[in-house]
A and B are shown apart, each in its own frame.
Chain A
């Protein structure tokens, strides 16, 4: 049985290409990582900002007779 916990994070975490979202388990006293903890079921909900994939159609070559 897992304990259900919630935590706060800022509402301004705008992150992009190359940034890392890290999920760690830390010692509450020292802040050091605690070994042996397994992370699963990671779900990230986010609003996609500019810079995402842009769908590009087949190029059309337009020729002009002069």
Chain B
């Protein structure tokens, strides 16, 4: 038999019921209705519900789109419509940053000098992952979750270093360099007096295991291999959690 169009109900409050009249049997091809939510008691989803002649619910078909209270929608049901995809979940990796405010003299002859940072220059988007702490009297960042971390840290000479200054930068967790991918930071060794442009930077991937958390404060150090001292400023380091895997990289 041919297709037919039915326009029952008029204007009614939801739930709106249309009971099929006697001797009518149909194969549904499409249902459309307007939902005026101007006076809705809350956000809603239009729903098509089929109830059998014995009063049992045969099927319920929500439209999958939530309509805000006060808004309206024209909803059409028909076979073959792909389900509404779930909204993409945006994930944000925890990160933290800290920097220093004053310079520190770093003597030569292989001396290791920790560069102070200040809690007033600490920023993070996850206090559950990063907090400030003190290690050896030096403020740094404490890591409270296991995982792999990308760490980038910098320091710059403050003024002109003495002749013979040779220095490298490193980060340390409680006095030991633990779990860096690719080994310890590469040395930067200027062999002549340099100006402020002699900033040193290192990037590494660090593994923090479950047994290490919460870690000792992560701090920046300068190793001066030269004969002269150099005054260095901690210009900040940023640490970002890459994942929660604690497999030690080597």
A pairs with B: yes
**Which among B12, B15, B17, B30 is the interface contact of A45 at CB below 8 angstroms?**
B30
User: In the docked arrangement, what's the CA distance between A52 and B3, Å?
Assistant: 12
Query: Looking at chain B's contact residues, is the secondary structure mostly helix, strand, loop, or mixed?
Result: strand
Known contacts A15-B26, A16-B20, A45-B3: does B36 contact A21 (CB below 8 Å)? Answer: no
| Residue of A1, A9, A22, A23 touching B28 (CB-CB under 8 A) | A9
Name the prevailing secondary structure of the A interface residues. strand
Q: Which residue of A lies closest to B57 (CB)?
A: A22
What's the tally of chain A residues with a CB closer than 8 Å to chain B?
Answer: 49
Question: Would you call B44 and A26 a contact (CB within 8 A)?
Answer: yes
Inter-chain contact A19/B53, CB cutoff 8 Å: yes
Q: How far is the CA of A41 from the CA of B64 in the complex (A)?
A: 20
- Which of B2, B21, B76 sits near A7, CB closer than 8 Å? B76
- Check if A47 is an interface residue, CB within 8 A of chain B: yes
**Contact partner, B75, options A7, A26, A34, Cβ 8 Å:** A7
Whether A43 sits at the interface, judged by CB under 8 Å, is yes
**Closest A residue, CB atoms, query B81:** A8
Nearest CB to that of B46 among chain A residues? Answer: A25
Interface residues in B27-47 by Cβ distance below 8 A to A read 27-47
B-to-A contact residues, CB < 8 Å: 1-53, 58-59, 61-67, 71-83
Q: Which 3 A-B pairs have the closest CB atoms?
A: A18-B53, A11-B79, A46-B26
Sampled A-B contacts (13; CB under 8 Å): A2-B34, A6-B77, A6-B78, A11-B80, A16-B53, A19-B52, A26-B47, A36-B39, A43-B31, A46-B29, A47-B27, A48-B3, A52-B1
